[in-house]
């Protein structure tokens, strides 16, 4: 029996835990992760559209809402190594840099050809040049003595 001057403890039986799998926040992060992965997979089959950035967004979102799915993505046989290199060390392979920069340059050329040389084209192209510089200056994974890339 409680004394009359004793404070009443708060009722926490009906309040959901913030980290429960059914919380709105987790469902939102999982939805963003699923949408990003779906876009990335679709873009893998469409020339000149980015794949990796959507996979990175998916890894990030799943890290907040579904750690099991994040782990599956980081262990994926095709994309896992590149994703892990970026997540753990902010590294991009030389081949990945070349592919991304060439794809970005091709997108800029196609945009200029379709839209024409208007101020908006120059702004978009300036942003893409900044992106290319950013990608080109990221670290590369170390190579072992025979030139093969090491998996960490």
In this prediction the pTM is 0.65
Q: How far apart are CA 102 and CA 125, in angstroms?
A: 13
- Would 11 be classed as within a structural domain? no
Q: Band of the pLDDT at 137, cuts 50, 70, 90?
A: very high
Residue matched to tokens 């060439």: 102
What is the extent of the structural domain holding 61? 24-89
Nearest residue to 36 via CA among 54, 52, 48: 54
SS3 107: helix
Mean pLDDT of 10-15: 44
Of the candidates 105, 33, 95, the residue with the CA atom closest to the CA atom of residue 64: 33
Average pLDDT of the segment spanning 124-129 = 89
pLDDT band at 17 (very low <50, low <70, confident <90, very high): very low
Burial of 144 per CB tally in 10 Å (0-12, 13-18, 19+):
exposed
Q: How many domains does the chain have?
A: 2
Please check whether residues 79 and 122 belong to one and the same domain.
no
């Amino acid at each position: 029996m409680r004394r009359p001057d004793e404070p009443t403890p708060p009722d926490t039986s009906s309040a959901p835990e913030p980290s429960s799998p059914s919380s709105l926040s987790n469902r939102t992060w999982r939805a963003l992760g699923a949408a990003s992965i779906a876009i990335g997979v679709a873009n893998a089959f469409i020339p000149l559209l980015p794949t990796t950035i959507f996979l990175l967004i998916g890894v990030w979102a799943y890290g907040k809402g579904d750690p099991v799915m994040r782990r599956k993505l980081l262990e994926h046989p095709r994309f896992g190594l590149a994703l892990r290199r970026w997540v753990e060390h902010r590294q991009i392979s030389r081949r990945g840099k070349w592919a991304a920069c060439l794809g970005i340059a091709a997108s800029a050329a196609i945009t200029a050809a379709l839209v024409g040389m208007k101020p908006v084209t120059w702004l978009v192209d300036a942003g893409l040049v900044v992106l290319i510089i950013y990608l080109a200056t990221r670290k590369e994974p170390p190579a072992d003595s025979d030139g093969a890339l090491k998996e960490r």
